[in-house]
Structure 1
């Protein structure tokens, strides 16, 4: 097979053809099998009480790529049951050697990587999103396979439909009339796969949602935020509040990742997040200062967008953190940790 010339980093390679145990080099996703044998292990344990858990790394840093190593179940058990022998330094050395091995396999043409191309499909989806939302503020989250292939899944699979019908909707402050769960009676097949949408209250309350799962395994979750953007009567016009954005994104990301992990046999996937129609819109941090409310800075762009390739080893919280932090930054604010110890949202602030 002719080697394809393309640039790719080792981290990305790990999630695909480089998916081998760092110790024994056993293939962790055998060709012809849908089983995934690989386990993403922590070098410094996720918990301070775990193997090699005593470290100055924060909980977020413990889930980063630099602290993870791909292992088969046997070696995973071996190193965690003998932390005195398998030290942090030793595991980092083995990981570095494995990365070098993967790179050499790629350079010598022994690992072949299929060309990644979902750009054309995503361009069409983004154009349709913009046409659909009109002049309203919408929060949009989607998960897309890195390679698009028609009829990858059956969107009318009963188990998949059950997962769709258990999706939650964000409960924005002051709008208790919004149902907590989506209404399963709004689900129907369409030209793409299956859709659930509620648009009856868009004009009156400026709330609604649209959920789609495609036959090619792309899935998207859209929520109208215009109601909360226009309901801030005590604040300047065209203001979004940080907590509303954070609540919407965490709800959408949680719902789609649940569908991904249960029903989509993909190790890597593209996460796309947008907020539409935000020109001249500001963000209220939730803080009150001695001279009033604390805001970020008005947005000049029409659409805010953030893309991120994610892998099954990433935690739900780390994905949510990265998205919310980025959008907070877009509005000129900063936040170190999105979630507090109590699980509630920490508030962002300006850089001083």
Structure 2
């Protein structure tokens, strides 16, 4: 932190943190929310953590869970990715509009696992809604989750069925979901979140088949700050068409848009069961991340993996980028991921 502060140049912001510091230092009005006496730092970073990190990473985790539990959905989505993007080219945001099934899958994830199942607002004046008097300053709770599984609105509401968002010509039909809210106060990060999820999921499915450690009967999550995913383990199997060294381009510099580089692939794999991908990434970029990761991997997940354990994440990333050293490990290689992370010694 000291190094970061010493390198800062006033009124030359490098990021949101610098911009906020400049604003606080320039504010002299004691009644302003930006005045140093107002303790703006805490709510600011809580907003960043909850709005930009927790919600998106939660949707990533749910997406991986659903894809592992419903292989027919995964196969159809991989087929669409292969047709539109290919198995080597890096996905870009413009590809999403040509992928109706991906959009349908993502909306179905949002429907059954909204990042925030409830929305909270305060009534600004006395009003009446559907014959009910609502007093000023009353807490108003929007039940997003209840709306998404309402049997009067959805056919088979408890079933994961992306096809419900496709018409007869297999075109995507935008649903009436409350995932990002409505109106002028809807989530300003919707476009960014959708873009991040698209790049993340298509990159994973280009490279891997995802299998569950076991079939789950109950896919209902737990209510916390958001809607926490069911605890599970998944197995990643490299897809035959993309697991060779040449396709992965193990060099550290990208040759073209046709081939991902080591740095990009490494960031994709910095996960703890996908739950804290953006949490880790944000803390790492801010210089506050100090973690130790333990990866277990082997040809047989049930076998003895103790000799393969390592706390060197770079070694794991080298395996990933080079196609898991396929020539020296003949046969089908299964990556069995069980990742533990800690920040400053505290378990996450």
What TM-score do you get using the length of structure 1 for normalisation? 0.23
What TM-score do you get using the length of structure 2 for normalisation? 0.23
Q: Which has the higher helix share?
A: 2
